[in-house]
A = this chain, B = another copy of it.
Amino acid sequence: MATKTATDTRERILEAAAALLAAEGRDGLSTRAVSAAAGVQPPALYRLFGDKDGLLDAVAAYGFDEYLTSKRALGSTGDAVEDLRRGWDLHIEFGLSRPEFYVLMYGDARPGRTSPAAREAEAMLRSIVERVAEAGRLRVSVERAARLVHATGMGVVLSLIATPEEDRDAELSQTARETVLARILTGTEEQAGSELPERAIALRAGLEGTTALTEAERVLMAEWLDRIANA
């Protein structure tokens, strides 16, 4: 009972660091300040997080997860498109209500590097977009849609954060959201066939017109589509 495990001190450090970040901003997050606030010696940080960057990554992920669970936002409405909207709004809310954490996640962009928390957010986004694709509502590839949504959303948040609160455009987020959705979503509400064979049949029907495939590829694909349709 109440044994001081390693995960305990890890949690305590992250908690103290998060409080420090919210209170004094990013510059307040020195290894000494964090270790003092957590009642731990400085070397402990390096044993647990390896590096100061490791600590910052962990703090960002901690703040992000904490926000998500506080919102109990993992639920699904059943409508994938509606879930995508809610995911967008939740993302913007998080960025504006905890700007220091958000900048920690996305602001320190070094070429080719992504923070674990950002990767986590991206994975969530991708899974929603995939469900939109399964519902037949997507007009571009999952990959492109996810990237477009992600880039735009991040730009909106960082741009709003950089704008003094009284000068912000309150509708910028919604405008951007609907602009992007209009680009990646199909207009029709009708389902494109929930079962795989139906989708294969629908694609097979229009395959002749495409220029994206060579003749040989088209022939082979038609064969495969038939296999799926008849499975």
Contact = CB atoms under 8 A, between A and B. Distances in A.
A45 to B, nearest CB: 19
Contact of A198 (B25, B192, B196, B197): B192
A221 interface: yes
B175 A183 contact: yes
A147 to B, nearest CB: 5
A96 to B, nearest CB: 9
Interface residues of A, number: 84
A140 B226 contact: no
Interface in A169-185: 169, 171-172, 175-176, 179-180, 182-183
Interface of A: 25-26, 99-100, 103, 106-114, 118, 130, 133-136, 138-144, 147-148, 150-156, 158-165, 169, 171-172, 175-176, 179-180, 182-183, 186, 192-207, 209-213, 217, 221, 224, 226-231
